[in-house]
Structure 1
Amino acid sequence: MSPFRGIALKLLSVFLFTIMASLIKATSDLVPPGEAVFFRSFFAMPIIIGWLALRGDLKTGFQVKRPLGHFWRGVIGVSAMGFGFASLGYLPLPEVTAIGYAAPMLTVIFAAILLGERLRLFRISAVALGLVGVIVVMWPRLSLDQLDDVAAIGVACVLISAVLRALAHIHIRKLVATEETSAIVFYFSLTATMLSLLSIPFGWTWPGVAGAGMLIASGLVGGVAQIFLTSSYRHAEAAVLAPFDYASILFAIIFGYVFFDEVPTQMVLAGSAIVMAAGGLIIWRERQLGLKRGKARPGMTPQG
């Protein structure tokens, strides 16, 4: 384990994913979300296949035990991606990023409902605090005196994407019990590419040379970001890496200001701070519980 290398890889992945989102946002007025999903998925595949080949995981990347499980993971994930990409055309990048933080909070709730994971008072309180932060970010967009139909659509798209991302995380937790990580990564890209083609009747357009270049770049950058993200967990524990997800709001603020002339409001900054605090509490608590379990394990019988 090399925590510093893991942290560096995680930060690089977050940085690249923000670049990917910026490229998608820059083309949001040129192509519909389904077409953007196709470019993001199709052009990530060569990167992912090359990575699997270098690791010697190409064989396991093609092997599946639960093909329907991969299909439904793809359906959920593609839908989440499509709604997320759609939201970038309606809202500033920092707001999309901040509201999207609802996904990990919802994952905790869904894990309790669908997987039977125990939900203690501390975790419930932290999740509630995080959702308050998300509401703070959304509130100016939804208050009656500033109601904006376009922004409201954007908020709805982000929230739907967050719900679907949380469900995708739950589905992945089930898949890892029987499937290799390499297979999950490969078949998601393949399924996303195929399913995105179903959106052709909804108005695919030629985005021009510059637009096509940005969309292709979004796939290549997204593929590299996925590799860095996956590799980071080989060098550091999830509890160590999790806080660095929140670096995305800093990158989103910088990119939004530089490339889209977007200045985050005080409500966005305040809500983001609340969400980050809530996420930090959950991470800290999980780490404490993990340390306790680690101390108890030596005294346990082989049966647990």
Structure 2
Amino acid sequence: MLKSNLLRAVGVLLLGILFLDMMSVIIKTLLERYAVLELSAYRNVIGVIPAFVMMWWTGEFKLDPKHLWLRQWKLAFGRGLMVTVAQVCWYAALSSSAFALVAALGYTMSLFVVILSIPILGEKVGIWRSVAVLLGFAGALLIVQPTAEGFSLWSLLPLVAAAFYALSIVSVRLFDREVSSSLMYLYSGVAAAVANFVIVLATTGFAPIQSTHDLMLIVAMGLIGGCGVICLLVSARMAEPSLLAPFNYFGLLSAFAMGWIVFGENPADRLFPGVLFIVAGGALILWRESQRKSD
């Protein structure tokens, strides 16, 4: 039963990763015409629609307030703020770096999940997981190249985004088991949307949408992103985050392929050998978990 649940969780996770990679491609395309904060606001507002659809499909959406009340609402709203920070950093990174490079650094999220699971979930991390984390961050340093002449703090934005995304994923395990993933996401999504809109209105304001094509892309960005996040939420509640963490690296293949096909990018000289260290760290965690389960 445990193995079957893990396989289902992995399947849902991989689907979520594919959705989020597709969303990132759309965002990088739109960043040529719209500001980071604008796209983040649109993403969060439209992104709550999949949550409503899922609640309607499962019969959870009822007008009775008691069905929409969440005891841990402060934690849910906090997750929304975590996601907002992560989104702004991620989108800004996409505007200044190659798609595959940002995606590769984003997969250090798995390592942050392991680290954050220690103080937040009380998970025990032994020598093998510690070595895996060190390998992963060594790979991140090789990609970022902090000693290179062209290095800037903007290169660290994907790592900041990965840390906040990991924090939002680990926090999912703190919710009561009976709380649905869609209701949890609805609260977080509303909090993120409100935060984004307040920031945009207080700063630059919203630019007019330039064409019907852009409008369709913005709607697709929000819907696909919302579905992706729900998939990650569902998978995180089906299995321990640290067990699922290594499977995030399958998204490196799709990210590299999308960057090459859509944007004509081929940053192989920056990706290697750092990306191999990141993947090796995840593989080591997976191997150790399989050994521990068989003991």
Global fold match (TM > 0.5): yes
1:212 paired residue number:
215
Task: Give the letter for the 1:183 counterpart.
Answer: L
Q: Where does structure 2 lack aligned partners over 5 or more consecutive residues?
A: none
Task: Report how far residue 175 of structure 1 moved.
Answer: 2.7
1:38 paired residue number:
41
**Cα RMSD, aligned residues only:** 2.7
Is structure 2 residue 284 aligned with structure 1 residue 284?
no
1:107–1:170 CA contact under 8 A, matched in 2? yes
- The aligned length equals 286
Task: Report how far residue 229 of structure 1 moved.
Answer: 4.3
Q: 1:98 to 1:213 in 2, by over 3 A?
A: same
In 1: Cα distance, 2:178 partner to 2:230 partner: 21
In 1: Cα distance, 2:29 partner to 2:242 partner: 33
Task: Report how far residue 234 of structure 1 moved.
Answer: 8.6
In 2: Cα distance, 1:258 partner to 1:181 partner: 34
Q: Deviations over 1:74-102 (max 9, x none)?
A: 11121111111111101111111111122
Moved more, 224-233 or 188-197: 224-233
Is structure 2 residue 266 aligned with structure 1 residue 260?
no
Moved more, 64-73 or 201-210: 201-210
In 1: Cα distance, 2:231 partner to 2:119 partner: 31
1:202 paired residue number:
203
Is structure 2 residue 126 aligned with structure 1 residue 120?
yes
1:243–1:283 CA contact under 8 A, matched in 2? yes
In 2: Cα distance, 1:226 partner to 1:160 partner: 18
Task: Report how far residue 225 of structure 1 moved.
Answer: 2.6
2:182–2:230 CA contact under 8 A, matched in 1? no
1:108 paired residue number:
114
Secondary structure of the structure 1 residue equivalent to 2:208: coil
1:302 paired residue number:
none
Q: Deviations over 1:213-241 (max 9, x none)?
A: 21211011112333444566798887875
Counterparts in 2 of 1:41-52, with a 5 A limit?
41-52=44-55
Moved more, 225-234 or 193-202: 225-234
In 2: Cα distance, 1:110 partner to 1:225 partner: 22
2:101 paired residue number:
95
Secondary structure of the structure 2 residue equivalent to 1:64: coil
Secondary structure of the structure 2 residue equivalent to 1:57: coil
Secondary structure of the structure 2 residue equivalent to 1:89: helix
1:192 paired residue number:
192
1:61–1:183 CA contact under 8 A, matched in 2? no
Task: Give the letter for the 1:275 counterpart.
Answer: I
Q: 1:125 to 1:218 in 2, by over 3 A?
A: same
Secondary structure of the structure 1 residue equivalent to 2:32: coil
2:55–2:182 CA contact under 8 A, matched in 1? yes
Task: Report how far residue 173 of structure 1 moved.
Answer: 2.5
In 2: Cα distance, 1:236 partner to 1:71 partner: 23
In 1: Cα distance, 2:39 partner to 2:116 partner: 28
Task: Report how far residue 72 of structure 1 moved.
Answer: 1.4
1:61–1:180 CA contact under 8 A, matched in 2? no
Q: Where does structure 1 lack aligned partners over 5 or more consecutive residues?
A: 293-304
